[in-house]
Amino acid sequence: MWMSWSVLVVLLSAAMPEFTVSQLFGLLALSGVAATLAHLLLFALGDKAMQASFAQAATVLLLIPAIGLIWLLQDSTISYSSLLLLAFICGLGGAQFMALGDTPQHQRSQLGWCLGVNASVLGIGIILAQVSVPVLTAMPWAGELSGMPWTTRAATGNMLGNIAAGTPMWLANVGWFMALALLVIIVLRQVPLWSSSAPMYVPRRTRSFARYLIFRNKHTWLMALLYLMAFGSFIGFAITFPLSLQFLFGLSRVWEGGELIQVVSNDHAPNALTYAWIGPLLGVLARPLGGWLADQFGGARVAQWCALALAVGCSIAALVAYQAFYSRTPETSFLSYILAFLLIFIASGIASSAIFKAISEIFPPEQLGTVLRWVVALASTGAIYIPLLWSLHSATATPAFALLGFAAFYVICAGIIHWIYLRRHSEFYNP
C-alpha cells in the first residue's frame, strides 16, 4: 500500500499538472515519515509486535488507508492537503512491509545468504506495486464502484507501453484492490490449515529493559548508519525513481541566457513507469548475492565495495541529470541515467545483506533480532530524506546537487567502514 505511492505520484503528475514536482516528492517524504514513525513504534512495543494477534490487528487497521484511497481518489478535484493526509495514513502501513520476524537459526557461515533471501521476499512488494498499480488504474475493474475517471492531461504509461494524454484512469481501483487483498489475508488467517502452515514468531521471555542495552553499544549506531546507507538508499530511491524519471525526462525545458523560459511535456521520452520497476527488481535479486559474498569475503569488506559503487553510481547519475535538465532533448540521456541507477540499486541490495551479515558477527544471538529491528527502523528514514532532498532541489532547479550529496554520504560511509572495521587491530575485523 505504501509503495503504491511511488506510482500514484507519477499518475497524479499526468492528471493534475498544477501540482509541482516538488509537491509530489513532498507526498513521498511525508509517507516516509509515517512509515518511520510506525516502525519505531513497533520497535518500542518489542516482542508484542511480533505476536500473531498483533499482526492480525495491524492487518485489519490497514483497511483504513485502503478505504481512504477508495473514498478520496474518486474525486479528480482532490486538494493537495487531502493528498497529504492520504499519503500519511498509507505510509503507516510501511512498517508492516518492513517488519522482521525472529532471526533465522542457521550456521553463521550461511547466515548472510539466509538473511538476504528473507529480505528479498519482503522486498517483492515494491516491484508488485510498481508493476500492478498502472494496470489496475487502466480500466474500471470495480464497475461503478471505481468512481469517476481521472483524465490524463499529459502522456503516461505502464510496463506495457505509453498511455496518451486524454486517457481515463480510475485511481480508486488501487484502494479496492488493497481492501480486497487485506480481506483475503484476514479470512485466510482464520483458517486452521493456513495458520498452521505459517506459524508466527513466538517471542522470547525477556525483560523490556534488556532490549535497550543495545543503545550502549557504539556498533549499534554505526551499523544503523551503514544500513541507512544500504537499505535506506534502496527504499528511498525505489519510491522516488519513477517520479525522478518523469521529472528529468518527461519534461523538456527551454533555456535562454541561463533563464528557464518554458517547460513542456516531452512526448519523445521513454515512459517512466515502463522502466522504473527494473531497478528495484535487480536490487531485490541482488540481496541473496550480497549475503553469499559477505559469507565469502566478510560483510564489512563487501559493504565498503558497495559504498564506493554507490558513490560512483550517484556521481554518474548527477552528471546525466545535469545534462538532461538543461537539454531540450533530455531523452538522449535516458539510457545512461537508467544504467547508473541500476548500479545504485544492485549495490544497495548487496550492501544491505552484507551489513546484515556484519551485524550477525558483532552481536550475540540474544541481541541479534533486536538490533536488526532497530537498524531497519532507522534505515527507513531513507524514505524521508531522499524524497525530501529531491523535493528541495527540484524546487531550486538543482537536481544534480541532490545526487552529489548522496555520493558524498557514501564516500563518508566507505571511510567509516575502513577506519572502524577493516584495520588489522579493529575490535571486529571485517565482520
Distances in Å between the Cα of 179 and the Cα atoms of 67, 75, 88, 169 are 7, 18, 17, 19
Question: Which DSSP state fits 48?
Answer: G
Average pLDDT, stretch 385-396? Answer: 94
- 202: confidence class by pLDDT, cuts 50, 70, 90: very low
How deeply is 424 buried, as exposed, middle or buried, from its count of CB atoms within 10 A (0-12, 13-18, 19+)? exposed
Does residue 431 form part of some domain?
A: no
Instruction: Name residue 151's beta-bridge partners.
Output: 168
CA distance 427 to 431: 10
Q: How far apart are CA 170 and CA 151, in angstroms?
A: 9
Amino acid at 251: L
Cβ 179 vs Cβ 63: under 8 Å = yes
42: in domain = yes
Residue 352 and residue 100: Cα distance in Å, rounded? Answer: 14
CATH number of the domain to which 145 belongs? 1.20.1250.20
Q: Specify if 327 maps to a domain.
A: yes
Distance CA 387, CA 384 (A): 6
Of 140-149, 314-323, 371-380, minimum mean pLDDT range: 140-149
Residue 273: domain span: 5-421
As given in the structure block, the three cell numbers for residue 222 are 554505526
- What's the average model confidence in pLDDT over 222-238? 96
pLDDT of residue 163: 82
- The mean predicted confidence, pLDDT, of the chain is 86
The count of domains in the chain is: 1
pLDDT in tens, 304-345: 999 999 999 999 999 999 999 998 899 999 999 999 999 999
Q: Determine the pLDDT at residue 101.
A: 43
Q: What is the mean pLDDT of residues 86-106?
A: 67
Q: What is the pLDDT of residues 275-288, one digit of tens each?
A: 999 999 999 999 98
User: What does the pLDDT look like over 240-276, one tens digit per residue?
Assistant: 999 999 999 998 888 887 788 888 888 888 889 999 9
- By percentage, how much of the chain surpasses pLDDT 70? 88
Answer whether residue 66 is part of any domain.
yes
How sure is the predictor about 3, in pLDDT bands with cuts at 50, 70 and 90? Answer: confident
Report d(CA 274, CA 249) in Å as an integer. 13
* pLDDT tens by residue, 13-36: 999 989 999 999 999 999 999 999
The answer to whether position 429 is within a domain reads: no
User: Residue 89 region, left (φ>0) first, then alpha (ψ -120 to 50), else beta?
Assistant: alpha
Residue whose C-alpha is closest to residue 355's, from 312, 293, 408, 313: 293
Q: Are 235 and 383 in contact (CB under 8 A)?
A: yes
Q: Taking 50 as the threshold, does the pLDDT of residue 50 lie above it?
A: yes
Q: Is residue 346 part of a domain?
A: yes
pLDDT at 191: 66
Determine, yes or no, domain membership for 193. Answer: yes
CA 216/CA 196 separation, integer angstroms: 39
pLDDT interval class at 1 (50, 70, 90): confident
User: How high is the pLDDT of residue 207?
Assistant: 54
